[in-house]
């Protein structure tokens, strides 16, 4: 018997996908992935070293991560009556939610341009994807959204708040309206909350169809992989069944618990990033032919002539940003830069200024 080949076994939608591309970053100034550029203060680094040295990595982790959840609950003021579900990054939580809802023909609705993983994971899980365009200034087109919601009746609606890759917070009243008229589940993805200051977490008690997702990745702990979902027990009870029991490892649980007891330290770093964001945007706006969009996140989207060419030239000078040119019609000639340290930002700004002068 000859066996079947991969393309006879693997689903057509998966064969058609291209894998999520992460460019090599060795020796690069990495301003492409919204990482926090700062290390933990040394007192915390030492405490963590001590804790992990004694960790029982011969044992499976606590499947409920009870201690960590308790720390999150107090440090992030989770409303009473709401549960927390932990994920190996919030990407895993997106996948759990979609897996749970992926009945044949069930739809996932989101905005475009938006977070790329929403569409990718819709494909993984066999959900029907619906992407509704934002306005050219990346604000939400409420009328178009309301029409699309009543027409498609999505099982799930995902919105990043602030949005990635545009960096803006959507209008709060518009989001309230969307949650109210949606019959399906609405998930607000607050990955950039530390830089925005606004949240839907305190509105959870008002809406039975709302869940709020957060992550520690953009806060300085991208390497730990910890995301979490907050919402009513009636939702999380079922989602928990799809969470693999040991998805958050021993080291992540111990480290995150300790670090979150010093949440003010991380928030302080985020505040510094917010201040440098303002400087970076003012500089970008001052460059001839550059349009920089307002940001409530730790990155800035900007538009300039010959973006793809400038992107390559930046790369040759060891600066890695994200090239969004050709990723969506509204992002023609757009690049996205993560706010780095003042030194990294200066090097980026000076290099960009030279390149624009040369081109
Ligand atoms: C970065 C990002 C995430 C992913 O976070 P992880 O917790 O690292 O998986 C989720 N949502 C948005 C909008 C992001 O930009």
User: pLDDT tens for residues 185-218?
Assistant: 999 999 999 999 899 999 999 999 999 999 999 9
Percent of the chain with pLDDT over 70: 100
Helix (H, G, I), strand (E, B) or coil at 251: helix
Residue 112 has pLDDT above 80, yes or no: yes
pLDDT at 163: 98
SS3 annotation, 35-59: CCCCCCCHHHHHHHHHHHHCCCCCC
Say how many Å lie between the CA of residue 159 and the centre of ligand 1: 12
Say how many Å lie between the CA of residue 227 and the centre of ligand 1: 8
pLDDT at 21: 78
The predicted model scores a pTM of 0.96
Residue nearest to atom 2 of ligand 1 (CA): 191
Say how many Å lie between the CA of residue 222 and the centre of ligand 1: 9
**Ligand 1 atom closest to the CA of 226, numbered from 1:** 7
Q: Is the peptide bond before 113 cis (omega within 30 degrees of 0)?
A: yes
Residues near ligand 1 with C-beta < 6 Å? 34, 89-91, 115, 160, 164, 189, 191, 215, 217, 222, 227
Please give the Cα distance from 85 to 240 (Å, whole number): 7
Q: Locate the DSSP E strands across 190-298.
A: 210-215, 227-231, 291-292
**Ligand 1 atom closest to the CA of 33, numbered from 1:** 1
Q: Average the pLDDT over 150-154 and give the result.
A: 98
Q: What is the mean pLDDT of the chain?
A: 96
Domain 23-40+264-358 identical in fold to domain 56-262 = no
Q: Average the pLDDT over 47-69 and give the result.
A: 95
Residue nearest to atom 14 of ligand 1 (CA): 191
pLDDT at 215: 97
Of 264, 271, 266, 275, which is closest to residue 342 (Cα–Cα)? Answer: 275
Residue 24 has pLDDT above 90, yes or no: no
Say how many Å lie between the CA of residue 91 and the centre of ligand 1: 6
pLDDT at 210: 98
pLDDT at 10: 96
Please give the Cα distance from 203 to 76 (Å, whole number): 14
Residue 178 has pLDDT above 90, yes or no: yes
pLDDT at 322: 97
Q: Which residues, in sequence order, are CB contacts of 213 under 8 Å at separation 6+? A: 90, 93, 94, 187, 188, 189, 190, 191, 227, 228, 229, 230
pLDDT at 19: 79
pLDDT at 256: 96
Q: Which fold has domain 56-262?
A: 3.40.640
Residue 23 has pLDDT above 90, yes or no: no
User: pLDDT tens for residues 284-324?
Assistant: 999 999 999 999 999 999 999 999 999 999 999 999 999 99
Task: Look up the CATH number of domain 23-40+264-358.
Answer: 3.90.1150.10
**Ligand 1 atom closest to the CA of 216, numbered from 1:** 7
Domain definitions of the chain by residue range: 23-40+264-358, 56-262
Say how many Å lie between the CA of residue 231 and the centre of ligand 1: 18
Residue 325 has pLDDT above 90, yes or no: yes
Percent of the chain with pLDDT over 90: 95
User: pLDDT tens for residues 262-283?
Assistant: 999 999 999 999 999 999 999 9
pLDDT at 77: 86
Residue 57 has pLDDT above 80, yes or no: yes
Residue 20 has pLDDT above 80, yes or no: no
């Amino acid at each position: 018997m000859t066996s079947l080949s991969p393309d006879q076994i693997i689903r057509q939608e998966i064969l058609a996908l291209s894998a999520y591309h992460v460019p090599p970053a060795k020796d690069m100034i990495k301003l492409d992935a919204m990482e926090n550029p700062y290390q933990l203060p040394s007192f915390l680094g030492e405490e963590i070293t001590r804790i992990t040295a004694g960790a029982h990595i011969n044992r499976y982790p606590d499947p409920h991560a009870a201690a960590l959840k308790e720390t999150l609950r107090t440090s992030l003021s989770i409303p009473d009556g709401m549960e927390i579900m932990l994920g190996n990054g919030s990407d895993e939580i997106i996948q759990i939610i979609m897996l749970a809802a992926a009945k044949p023909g069930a739809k996932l609705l989101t905005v475009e341009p938006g977070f790329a993983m929403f569409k990718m994971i819709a494909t993984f899980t066999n959900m029907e994807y619906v992407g509704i365009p934002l306005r050219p200034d990346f604000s939400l087109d409420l009328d178009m959204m309301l029409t699309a919601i009543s027409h498609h009746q999505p099982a799930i609606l995902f919105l990043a708040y602030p949005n990635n890759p545009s960096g803006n917070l959507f209008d709060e009243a518009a989001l309230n309206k969307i949650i109210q008229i949606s019959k399906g589940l609405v998930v607000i993805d607050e990955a950039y909350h530390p830089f925005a200051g606004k949240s839907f977490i305190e509105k959870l008690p008002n809406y039975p169809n709302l869940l709020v997702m957060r992550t520690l990745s953009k806060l300085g702990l991208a390497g730990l992989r910890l995301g979490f979902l907050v919402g009513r027990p009636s939702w999380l009870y079922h989602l928990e069944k799809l969470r693999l029991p040991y998805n958050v490892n021993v080291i992540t649980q111990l480290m995150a618990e300790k670090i979150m007891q010093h949440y003010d330290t991380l928030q302080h770093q985020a505040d510094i990033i917010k201040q440098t964001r303002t400087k970076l945007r003012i500089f970008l706006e001052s460059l001839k032919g550059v349009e920089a969009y307002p940001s409530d996140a730790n990155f800035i989207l900007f538009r300039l002539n010959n973006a793809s060419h400038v992107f390559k030239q930046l790369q040759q000078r060891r600066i890695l940003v994200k090239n969004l040119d050709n990723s969506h019609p509204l992002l023609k000639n757009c690049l996205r830069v993560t706010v780095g340290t003042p030194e990294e930002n200066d090097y980026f700004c000076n290099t960009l200024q030279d390149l624009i002068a040369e081109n």
